[in-house]
Amino acid sequence: MAGNFYGADVAQLRQLAKELSAGANRLNALGQQLGSSIGSGLWKGRDGDRFRSEWTASHAKLLRSATSGLETAARTLLANAEEQEKASTSGPGGAGGSGAGGAGGTGGASAQDLTDILTAMTPAERRAYLQSDEFRRWAQANPEAAKAAMDAAADSGLISKNSNGYQDFLNDYWNGQAMLAMGIDPADWDTSKGTEYNWETIAKVYDFYGRAYLANPDLQWAGMANMIGPSFAGGFRDMAMLRDLAQQITDNPASDIPLPVLDQLEQLAGMTDDEIRFYETSMLDMNKEIFLDQARQHQAYMDGGIAEINRLRDSGAIDQATANAWAQIDSGDPGQVREGNTTLLYREQNEIIADDYDAMRSHPGGEAVTYMVTLAGEPSIPGARSYPEVFPYTFSVESPGPENIPFTSWDNPAQFRTDFTTGFPDGNIANADQRWNLIRQDTLPAYQHLLATDPEGAAQIIGSDFNGRVVQYRPTNNIPGIMDRFLDSFDAEVHQ
């Protein structure tokens, strides 16, 4: 056997890993749906209580074990594929060798291999190596060995806990674990190719959030992200429809549109497909940025608890305020849990994607596009209201003439003020402060009320089919309702 080496088909290994991961996801989703149905209490009596007890004590654990087995097999296959690919392209002195760059090979190396290499290096060599593509490839092929060696190196002082190399490694490792668990191929996640090309990945992103919440209901940010996802993702698919909706509104003779709003709607109505495409890919970029920030944190917490969150903090991957939020979530105190998750939500909206919204709004025509997104958005959280419903655009018109009849104290019947309430939003979702006001005043309270009063209903929504919810909330399927809301919201009050 020593003289013969039979290599596996790398593409087949990766395809099989993808299929195993997809099977793990389906099995996990099935377990969540069954758990939600069984826990709903619809089956009353002792038999129902006994079955629920058996489900929790035995059946659910078996499903989780099977899911874990499939995920482990998928990881092993990916590591083997990487090892085979390196073996096919590298000689003994290349990336797969045992020199300073190889860390003892790929795909089957140990933590000690990497420890030995790092120990033999000078501090400058270590810093350079840990920032190199060569190390990243090795760590991707040997994730568990790399994690053990890097943690040990940081704990012993061989490398600094607060270093770019360790920070980047932890970010890559935990995002890689999250993507692997969901069957997401990072090489295939290309936002420039548009919504339909990336749709499978988009759905997996929101399924990741849902899976995290259902595994631990204290992860309320993740549950909210999954629940609001259908309205956000539906917007990806319907950016061009917003232009059509703008045309319908401007062409509607019943629309009494204030001039500033009319200017924006007419600008959007005349946009080309290429112009619309910019906003579609910008929203896809936001979706990806949120995942790359939150997935690493959630996966680290789910797998390693608060200790792993503290590693992210000590490396500089997250700031102290974010680490404090996770400590609140970890406390188990309901009030602290809510506050911690609200901090994660604030981070998402005001630190991770605020600049993306600003870029969209400042792009030529961006004010019009983001205004229409504000007008047409339908929240997919029960009880939550749209921006125009919470903050409607109002204006007043006063008739000419003095308030009183000259030389008397009598009211002038020809002088009055009319206050108009419209179906348009008084603000723009792309404005960080205005967006946060909507979230704090309406969206977040509606979500927290649902969790407090109907946790089983919330779990059923989060565990339900994501694609089906997108169909329900995407703007294309809600144009009549949007138009009705828009027209029915107009009101006028006359004041003498």
Neighbours of 237 (CB within 10 A): 19
- Token look-up 């259908």 returns 230
Q: How many domains does the chain have?
A: 3
Of 59, 89, 119, the last residue of a domain is 89
Strand partners, 417: 398, 495
Task: Give Cα 94 distance to the centre of its chain.
Answer: 39
Q: Return the CA Rg of the chain.
A: 28
Q: With H, G, I as helix, E, B as strand and everything else as coil, classify residue 450.
A: helix
Q: What pLDDT sits at residue 221?
A: 98
Task: Give Cα 325 distance to the centre of its chain.
Answer: 18
For residue 323, being part of any structural domain is answered with yes
Q: Closest Cα partner for 237 from 194, 272, 286, 203?
A: 194
Q: What pLDDT sits at residue 369?
A: 84
Instruction: Judge if 61 and 15 occupy the same domain.
Output: yes
Instruction: Judge if 39 and 140 occupy the same domain.
Output: no
For residue 300, being part of any structural domain is answered with yes
Angle formed by the axes of helices 123-130 and 164-182, nearest 10°: 30
Instruction: Judge if 216 and 68 occupy the same domain.
Output: no
For residue 136, being part of any structural domain is answered with yes
Instruction: Judge if 264 and 115 occupy the same domain.
Output: no
CATH number at residue 58: 1.10.287
Q: Model pTM?
A: 0.74
Ordered DSSP codes for 63-122: HHHHHHHHHHHHHHHHHHHHHHHHHHH--TTSTTSSSTTTTT-SSS--HHHHHHHHHHS-
Instruction: Judge if 366 and 467 occupy the same domain.
Output: yes
Instruction: Judge if 392 and 306 occupy the same domain.
Output: yes
Q: With H, G, I as helix, E, B as strand and everything else as coil, classify residue 218.
A: coil
- Domain residues for the domain of 47 are 10-89
Instruction: Judge if 333 and 394 occupy the same domain.
Output: yes
Instruction: Judge if 221 and 335 occupy the same domain.
Output: yes
Q: What pLDDT sits at residue 95?
A: 36
Helix (H) or strand (E) holding 476: none
Instruction: Judge if 123 and 23 occupy the same domain.
Output: no
Q: Please give the structure tokens belonging to residue 85.
A: 């690919």
Expressed in percent and rounded to 5, the helix, strand and coil fractions of the chain are 70, 5, 25
Under-70 pLDDT residues of the chain: 1-8, 10, 25-26, 29, 32-33, 35-37, 39-44, 49, 53, 55-58, 60-62, 64-65, 68-69, 71-72, 75-76, 78-108, 240, 252-261, 397-417, 475-490, 492-496
Instruction: Judge if 387 and 261 occupy the same domain.
Output: yes
Q: Give the whole-angstrom CA distance, residue 214 versus residue 29.
A: 10
Instruction: Judge if 153 and 258 occupy the same domain.
Output: no
Q: What pLDDT sits at residue 277?
A: 87
For residue 413, being part of any structural domain is answered with no
For residue 179, being part of any structural domain is answered with no
Q: Give the whole-angstrom CA distance, residue 292 versus residue 175.
A: 6
For residue 286, being part of any structural domain is answered with yes
For residue 148, being part of any structural domain is answered with yes
Q: Please give the structure tokens belonging to residue 275.
A: 């112009």
For residue 167, being part of any structural domain is answered with no
Residues whose CB falls within 8 Å of the CB of residue 385, separated by 6 or more in sequence, listed in order: 379, 442, 446
Q: What pLDDT sits at residue 296?
A: 97
Q: What pLDDT sits at residue 123?
A: 94
Neighbours of 464 (CB within 10 A): 17
Q: What pLDDT sits at residue 320?
A: 97
Instruction: Judge if 309 and 346 occupy the same domain.
Output: yes
> By the 8 A CB rule, do 342 and 185 touch?
no
Q: Please give the structure tokens belonging to residue 342.
A: 């609200």
Q: Give the whole-angstrom CA distance, residue 382 versus residue 175.
A: 30
Q: What pLDDT sits at residue 393?
A: 82
Q: What pLDDT sits at residue 94?
A: 36
